[in-house]
Structure 1
């Protein structure tokens, strides 16, 4: 196995294999072996070297997975490529700290078969959980997402979210690593195989239970997605406002030609003007609603009057042809350095990437829209990567999740495909349909199993329709209890750290020479002779 001969080569292999599970490669089996190359080496490494190699693996993984960030920064931040590369490297260096900690702890735990096999998966999930919440959170590269194409495993998300699948994938890696080294007991292999079998069996059962959506559905909801494909370079040009609205109007008319729909869905900031402050496009929007005679759910920037310093919000609104705006939701989790600047007093020199001037302010909570005897829960843009926001909406009564996004920022990179994959999991976790409308794509509608009912490809102006069946009010386990699995892994990891350090100290006390290379210092020999154990 030439790949495993050098720890540095192994670290590079681990980073690249982790990336291979994400779009555009989508090679799910890579996730099950990604950590193995480096795990087989950690026992022979010092603590510092294990940390450094873990950092290298994490840096390579995030650098290759998130390379699209340079596109965003250069094209819309107007920054030189060298600066964009520096921004990407800084982010990747931060994200690499988490796998660095993982492999450092793995080095400490190699003396315990139980910790090395069962403790490490809990530690990985604990670190992912921390990354999802620290510094505004960034759970984009959770290892569970590498299994998006493995439908039976995805179905288990209604129990433990994406963290449950991630735990199983890391468990597969730890078992394989011990098998490669020939240091694993049969009972551990059998227990791990049983866990995998239970995951798959549950997933197959849950998938089958949703085969007939009519059985448990309250009523069907006919939805049309309107993908305008408005280029980001002209989106905010005042001279292009009328053309943009006409594109959405024409597509909406086309969507209504074959058969009626209950709801037209436009993407995030589909109306590129400040509603109520710009009279001409505001009137034009109402004229469009009156002409189609169907409620429109769309994204729009909003101005909140506040004296001489008005504040901005990124909103989704439900527009009726005869009642005007009847409901709205303001985005709660804003994009750092895009919609606001974190630590602005310190980072006063940072330019925002958005074309609209001013800071956006977050909404205060979930807003569930009553519609056609059901309720819609809104997620704007990358709010779909935060499971707790979708769960919050469903806990407040939403029976259909709607994700409005503008992925034009990403261009023709892997990011739109990654973003789409992540959103799919929110449908399964909450066992509700998810309607996703994106400006340039990828727009799609998922059923409660994450199955794609319809979709539109990237960078086309088009429309598509599907019927979603609104289910019963019975919440999934994940809706009721949230990330209790991730919390359990975090607590277990902490207990394992305490136990591992205590066990290591006991071994050192019993055999001081085992932690020194070559002959132990004379003082240790004297201590061992005087204190026989």
Structure 2
């Protein structure tokens, strides 16, 4: 295995990364896997695994570099250890492109499997990555296509995985052209799939827009306090935090039309709401002064086996500060809100001193205000389609994401996070109301379009009109059926190639 093959593998990894924000060069994603597939020509199975692993390391290390900033800046971890943690995570995630490369190697010489089977393998591996070991579906390939509005409307059928499949098909089609099989097999099918997806997207976009025009309008305000993470939990800064949110909320409440709901970010209330009486009453008095219902984030204390434990909650209160309901975060951040496998990873507490002792909630029921169901997703819960789908099936017509992306600084992570969550609005045709502490805050309609946004590291307020088209999408009803089809097809292709290989050996 020469340097040229290694170079091609690294090139594929970097091309995969360039499709994500930033710089969001989404068109490169359509050919990103071509160098890797070319590098596999004439290699052994072990070499194929290694080349796929190198590709994965290059991709995930360059996409998730911001983790080093988080653990070093806020965890107080030395730079070499922070880099090592990124390398360890990237090393695990690189196993998935490595498995993809092994499948590609096994199917060399089988044009139909190589062209049309590999996209299914990629999708199956993406799904496993998003489910195994608590799941980390951060950099699914379909997310690179966010700027192509017509194309991504198909997500309400297949979820993001359908677009991942199509983008990989782009690479296998280019590969087939380079091998001289372009017109006969792959190109017509690829053109048909791409054009069909675009036609569906145009039709679906018109349908959603028409339904939104006839739907009841609802005015919502999002508040971005831009509280420095280093001062967020400083008791001396609590009054400044509440003052800032009060002023921004008063400015939003004075807008015309007047908002029906104001949304603050995750843990915007820097105290235990309902436990710390003075601060709780101060916030309640603020709500009464506003005269507008408020949804806000706050830490909470719950009892588990008689022991007090922390929860990350969102509270909904009416204009008189009466609690209408609360939601406890279900999918906690590993090493941020809890330490998995504590007996095995006992040493991690020394590395990540900010790791809390939080316990998850278990209820996906939406919060209800008047006749509207609000499906709350706290922090990175928005990257898990299953959580959003669960609350929509329970009756949520709107999704509300409250988050604190201050941890990420001015890296590409806040932009990646926002664009991932945009897909939940499209998949489920439920407007996404997003309030982020340091940004980016916005309201995204059921077609995936923003009414505006408060940019990163700014404080501000924004009032938008939200309308739910009232659609229950195929994806909402059937979930990841497309993934199961890809898994079944991949297994069938693997069995077929194995039988063909044994047959060839026997003859």
What's the TM-score, normalizing by structure 1?
0.92
> What CA deviation, in whole Å up to 9, does each residue of 1:285-319 have, x standing for no partner?
11111110101001100001458731110001102
Whole-Å separation in 1 of the counterparts to 2:240 and 2:354: 19
Asked if 1:234 corresponds to 2:231, the answer is yes
Q: What is the CA–CA distance in structure 1 between the aligned matches of 2:76 and 2:3, rounded to whole Å?
A: 44
Offset of residue 270 of structure 1: 0.3
The one-character-per-residue Cα deviations of 1:319-351 (angstroms, maximum 9, x if unpaired) are 223252210010000000000000011111212
Aligned to 1:248: 245
Conserved? CA contact 1:59–1:93, under 8 Å: yes
Structural RMSD (CA): 1.6
Distance 2:39 2:245 in 1: 57
Gaps of 5+ in 2: none
Superimposed CA distance per residue, residues 154-182 of structure 1 (whole angstroms, 9 cap, x where no aligned partner): 10000000000000000111010121122
1:27-426 to 2 correspondences below 5 Å: 27-184=25-182, 186-212=184-210, 214-217=212-215, 219-259=216-256, 260-305=258-303, 309-351=307-349, 358-426=356-424
Cα 1:320–1:343 change in 2 (3 A) is same
- Seen in structure 2, the aligned counterparts of structure 1 residues 236 and 248 have a Cα distance that, compared at 3 Å, is same
- Distance in 2 separating the partners of 1:237 and 1:165: 44
Output the CA distance in 2 between the equivalents of 1:356 and 1:32: 40
Q: 1:358 to 1:143 in 2, by over 3 A?
A: closer
Distance 2:397 2:423 in 1: 15
Partner SS for 2:41: helix
Matched, 1:507 2:504: yes
Partner of 1:494: 491
SS in 2 for 1:312: strand
Q: Which has the larger radius of gyration?
A: 1
SS in 1 for 2:457: coil
* Structure 1 CA distance for aligned equivalents of residues 294 and 492 of structure 2: 51
Q: 1:451 aligns with which of 449, 453, 457?
A: 449
Query: What CA distance in whole angstroms lies between the structure 2 residues aligned with 1:25 and 1:471?
Result: 32
Asked if the contact 2:49–2:98 (Cα under 8 Å) also holds between the matched residues in 1, the reply is: yes
Q: Any idea what SS the aligned residue of 1:233 has?
A: coil
> Any gaps of 5 or more consecutive residues in structure 1?
511-533
Cα contact 1:236–1:355 (8 A) shared by 2: no
Question: Secondary structure in 2 aligned to 1:299?
Answer: strand
1:307 and 1:11 map into 2 onto residues whose CA distance is: 51
TM superposition shift of 1:453: 1.1
Distance in 2 (CA, whole Å) between partners of 1:283 and 1:188 is 66
Task: State the partner residue of 1:521.
Answer: none
Measure, in 2, the Cα distance between the counterparts of 1:463 and 1:112: 57
Return the alpha-carbon distance in structure 2 between the equivalents of residues 422 and 341 of structure 1.
25
CA distance in 2, matches of 1:499, 1:373: 53
Change (3 A) 1:280 1:353: farther
| Alpha-carbon distance in structure 2 between the residues aligned to 1:205 and 1:350 | 51
SS in 2 for 1:45: coil
Number of residue pairs matched by the alignment: 505
